[in-house]
Structure 1
Amino acid sequence: MLVKRLQPMISHARRSYVGLMFQVMGRALQAISEVDEKTRNETRALPEGFLFEMQVMPNGPALIVEHTGDGLLYYHGDSAPRPVDLSIQFKHLTHAFLVLSFQEKTSVAFANDRMLVDGDVSLAVRMTRVLNRLESFILPKLVAQRAVKEYPANLHLPEKLMSAARIYLKVATNLVETVRA
């Protein structure tokens, strides 16, 4: 009986959490493309104007980023200015919550058929590498190891801390600019 009453609140809390995580991830993707040369090298291979979407099906929270050229990404929020080129979709809010709360690795979620890829799979792999690099920088090592398929062996604490600080500073700056606008 109590569980039936709590279920809508739990669902709302999960939806809010996933939405918040998508906002942070979108801004962080923009930030890492500005501060990390390896990420820029990875994203330079994307076509200019390339739109990437990650969302919960059918009309759940989403994040949209665009490759604006020279390896830089721009966060559009949850609405695309035109049709997206690549969409990674979680089949259910619970699946997105498992991945975004670091209870399940993205690779495991994909293997368990919890996600769909609509678009060029090679570009999806490239974007997954960018997301893994981002998570390796901004999450504590123990959490990042649970989130990514393989934690980078050559990522040492000084580089991790400096990069994370620069990414978080850019995310915070982006948030402040968004609130002012």
Structure 2
Amino acid sequence: MLRKLSRSAALTARRRYVQTMFQVMGHALDAISRTDKKVLDEARLLPVGFVFEMTVLPAGPSLVVEHVGEGRLRYLGSSPPANVDLSIRFKHIAHAFLVLSFQEKTAEAFANDRMLVDGDIGLAVRMTRILNRLEAIILPRLVASRAVKEYPADLGLFEKVPGAINIYRRVATGMIRDLTKEVSPT
């Protein structure tokens, strides 16, 4: 009984962690697409109206972003619209937790068959590069090196620190705005 209860509590904790990380990542993708030239250049090549989803199967937490043009990504929340162009799906919450807690690189998770890609592989590679750039900027180098396949050699401290501060400021603003929407009666 106790073992079953502790497994349930661990699953709930992982689910909440993954849900929170998806929310942070969604707002961070929105923020970095406003400020980072490399992300802007990469995202400009996405079709306007392109919708990207990252989710956990079967009906777990998710994040959804849309390319609105000029390299700008807009965080849409956790509910995908009817048409999703690219979906990266973790097969289980434990797999998502491994990646989002930086215990396993995204490339390793894919190689270990922990995730599925539904959509154009070229666009998936592009989104992975954007996500890797985001992680390299907002995470301490030691953690980012565990999260991304290759840490960017050209990312210096004078680019990383102001970029991270700007992104985290925008993430905090976006999350506060989300909380305000949830609390206020509409």
- Shorter-normalised TM-score: what interval? over 0.9
* TM-score of the two chains, using structure 1 as the length reference: 0.97
The match for 2:184 is none
Query: Any idea what SS the aligned residue of 1:88 has?
Result: strand
Deviations 1:96-154 (A, max 9, x none): 00000000000000000000000000000000000000000000100000000000011
The CA deviation at 1:84 is: 0.3
Query: Any idea what SS the aligned residue of 2:168 has?
Result: helix
Q: Structure 2: state its 5+ residue gaps.
A: 182-186
The match for 2:38 is 38
The match for 1:141 is 141
The CA deviation at 1:44 is: 0.3
- In the TM superposition, 1:5-154 aligns within 5 A as 5-154=5-154
Counterpart amino acid of 1:38?
K
Question: How many Å separate the matches in 2 of 1:27 and 1:143?
Answer: 20
* TM-score of the two chains, using structure 2 as the length reference: 0.95
Question: How many Å separate the matches in 2 of 1:11 and 1:177?
Answer: 28
Q: CA RMSD in A?
A: 0.9
Structure 1 stretch 170-179 or stretch 45-54: which is displaced more? 170-179
The match for 1:160 is 160
Counterpart amino acid of 2:19?
G
The CA deviation at 1:77 is: 0.6
The CA deviation at 1:37 is: 1.1
Deviations 1:54-78 (A, max 9, x none): 0001100000000000000000111
Deviations 1:1-50 (A, max 9, x none): 53222010000000000000000000000000011111010000000000
Counterpart amino acid of 1:3?
R
The CA deviation at 1:178 is: 2.3
The CA deviation at 1:88 is: 0.3
Question: Between the two proteins, what is the percent identity of the paired residues?
Answer: 62
Query: Any idea what SS the aligned residue of 2:174 has?
Result: helix
Question: How many Å separate the matches in 2 of 1:64 and 1:50?
Answer: 10
Query: Any idea what SS the aligned residue of 1:117 has?
Result: strand
Q: How many residues align?
A: 181
